[in-house]
Each structure stands twice: as structure tokens, then as C-alpha cells.
A and B are shown apart, each in its own frame.
Chain A
């Protein structure tokens, strides 16, 4: 089969690899019909996530048709059309049973690596480093799905692939980011980053009853898409002090909740941002937490800081004194996918939202190496790339 493989920093290649096989009795094999590049894939592409190895197959947002199931799979059968969550959960450990699916105790074969860095291991993820499982990802024609009875959800007739694909990650991630903020009537929510997760966080915050959503970004097409959802905009490249502007926009109270949809590769134009970039390039820091610093500083007293953006290591100059003295609540972590997929599918079925609004590029797998670069550099007004792994695009992509 064809698969997109990580080969080092800023180098991904489409290769012919062996087809996946059933390795455990609860596995299923899915023939992938649509896959996407996630913003967090760019952290891998840029080489900021440790324990990636050349040859690793990327991709954690995918859906397709079940073509084979292991002997212990009872809920799925051949021919089922499914969306596969990016987290892998066993469904039987105490974390899964308490709804903390992304903290599954049993799905990471390399838990010992994560324990070295994080103390404990979260769930295994598709295509996201050996430390988080080393599972082959879904930017390929087929994927093996462990614990197939627990993760994938069946897609009902009448819904297009591009309407449900984002149930695999970014829609539930954006929704959970807003959900954990405990939004109440009249609340003001500030969201850093209008990328795909940010777009879903904006819409989710409104769905959950936010009165106003204020977003912070500087990319015109992303801002335009946020405006379509009635979000107010702060352009951070044109604003000297985002925190002060937010304070003014909220009558001096500050937002009730702040959501950091940027994560470890925040951009900035000031001295501290240059310092962050230098440290990251020198490999003495994983993260550039500028957005998080602003979110903590800007958040109103007693508010919530929600962090769906990915962070990898030890954060420098995070204003924890502000967090402590304002009694902020922090919510973060990989998305508890199984908690949100079915309810959000219902919202899509009811026409409350069509997640395909975020797609700007429809490509083939052969286009993936260039699509990564286009997405990372925010060229060609790129917000979200989806790829059909079976479409023959080699003639288009090869010069």
C-alpha cells in the first residue's frame, strides 16, 4: 500500500509499504477513504516531538471501510463505514471506564518511554511518535485499528465522508476545549489561534452558550472564517498588548475562559518570542508557549484556561503566579474522543454544523509532501487539507 512516512525534520515521503495485518484479536483493518493533515502533524514535521523514527507512518485523522476484523471484534463487521478516533483506548481500564479515554492505561505499547518523560503514560495515538505508542498512522491506504470495538464509530447513510471525517480529531478537540470551560450564559470566551481546532472551538463555544467569542490570530483567511462564525477578532500582529485589548473589550473583567488552540509553535514578533524560538532551535526547549502565557495573563479572575493545543515538554516563563493569584482553573489533555464522537455526530445529522466548512484543499496522498509544506507555511490560503489515498495523483504531484 501507499503510505506517508516521516523521514526526518521537514521531510516526509510517500512510500510503498506492506499492508497492515491483524496483530491482536481486537484489531480491525480499515481501508481508508479520506484522511487529513492535522495541525499537530506539523509538530512532527518540524521535528519538535521526540521519539519519531524514519519510516514512521503519519496521520491520525482518518476514516474508511472495515475490510477485516480480528476474532474478538463483535461490534464492527466487514463493510462498515467508520470514523476512527485518533486516540486508542481499551475501554476496560479504570480511566476508560470513568470516561477519561485519552488516559487509557493499556493502549500504549511503549508506555515506558512516556513514563520517563511524563511520569505516567497517556493512551496510544495513531502516527504520533514511539513514545505515544508507535502505531502506524492513517495517511495511508490501510490502517490497523487496535481495540476496534471501542474506538471507531459507524457512519450512518446520507452523510458524506468530509462531513464526518473531522470527528476523528479536530471537531471533538475543539468541542472539548470549550466544554471543559463550563461556559454559562453571558460568558465571554477568548480563543488563541483560528486554525482548524480554533474554528471548531469558536463554533462549539457558541453552541454551548457563550455570549461572545473573541479570537486572536493574524492569518487573514483564518480570521475571515472566524468572522463567518460571528467571532470578534484581535489581530495580534497589529496589537501591541493583546491582554490589555482583551481587558478593554470585556469591560475590565477579562474573558471568563481562555482557550489556547495554538500550542507549542506559537509565533510572535517580540523579544520573548525570539528568545523562545532560539531556545527551541537550540533543542533546549520543546515549546514556544507565547499563546499560553497570554491566555493566563488575560484570563479573568476565577476563569478557566483550556489547552487543546499540543505541548511536549517543559515550559519557560509561564506566569504561574498570575494563575495562582487569580485562582484559575486549568483544563488540558488529549481529547476524550469516545465521550464526544457520538453526540457530535448527532449534531451533524441534525444539521447543526457541517464540519466540511474548514476544508480548503482536497488532494491525493501523493501530494502530501508538498501539502505539509503548504499547510505549515500557510500558503495558498491553506487551512485544512484532506486527502483521498486511492486517487491517483502521482502524475499531478510529480514534476
Chain B
């Protein structure tokens, strides 16, 4: 059975109780690095975003250090996300069932998950977070580099228009706008993980229970079981 709904490394690790591995140690470490740099970026970014939140720079030792740290954390985040992106992109490509699932989102929110169509490893909401984050991060990376004051002298001779003040005004505003949208996605991402009980173990141990997989990602579970029945080496 070819992998359609699952990634290399996904497998049933125990039958009684039924435990399924969703993420390997590398992917988990990768996600943690992304999460930690995101946290630094959110805290320092909020400080620059709104005057009454400027006190958050105190967590890092003051405004000067926060200003220095923010773009560095941004580069770490961008590199880390890129590695994550490569691992997750195939199963996040849109499929037909995503449309159906999205149309029935109301049922899910009111707690009738049983009537939702069965899914592979990711649902349309998770795919939205994935692609949204990827797109916004690209915008934030480019605009962020444009307004990274210390680094501007390194490239301004090659791209004088982009280093010019009118372009940087737009970059500052776009950076802030993308940050707001990213915060909305982040809230969606974190809340969905809280609301869907049993999800955090995927981030911590890399595994979920069979019931979790059955309930939320049935096609994924079925494919893993089928492959293991075939005796495919992992």
C-alpha cells in the first residue's frame, strides 16, 4: 500500500493500548525550536507593536536588547520553519475532502464530529494554518530584512529602491499587518490543539492514541494499519 495519507515514520507503535506515532524526534525538536523562536518574536514584537506593551522588553533586558534579538529570532524561526515545511508539505496539499470538511465546519464546532468526512493526516484547518504561516512568514522575512536597520548598509547599494524610505514605510506596515494575521493563526493553532483533547502528546511524545487517530484522522489510521498488515518494513 502506497503512502497517500501518511508520512514516512508514521506507524502503529503498540496495539494494546493502541498507540500511533505521529511525529519523530527530529520533527518534534524542529517544532519546538519554531515554537520557542515564535514566543520570543511574539513577546518582543508585541512590545514594538503597541506602546502599553513596551514593558515586555523588560523580559529580555530592555528595549535595545529586544531590538537586537527580534530579527535574530526571526531568522532562526524562518530557517526552522523551512525545515518543518519540507517535511510537512506533501500531506498539507489540498484534497477534495478538504472542501467537504470545510463546508461542514459548523457541525464540528457544535460537537458533531461524527458526521464529518474521514480525513488523512491533516484537516483543512490544519492546512490553513500551515499555508497561512508559510505565506505570512515569507512576507515577514522579506519585510523584516528590509527594516533591519543595522543590516541595511550591507545591501542598500544593490537594491537602492528597496532600501529607500518609501519602500521601508510600506515594509513596516506590511510587517505589522502580517504579524496581526499570524497572531490570529497562532491563536487558532494553539486553541485547536487545546480544544481537541489528546493532541499535545503528539508535540511532546510524538504519539497519539488510536481513538484520537480514529476520531480525527481516520484515513491516516487506516492506511497505517493496512501497511502494517502487509508487513511493510518501516
Chain A partners chain B: no
Q: Which residues of A contact B (CB under 8 A)?
A: none
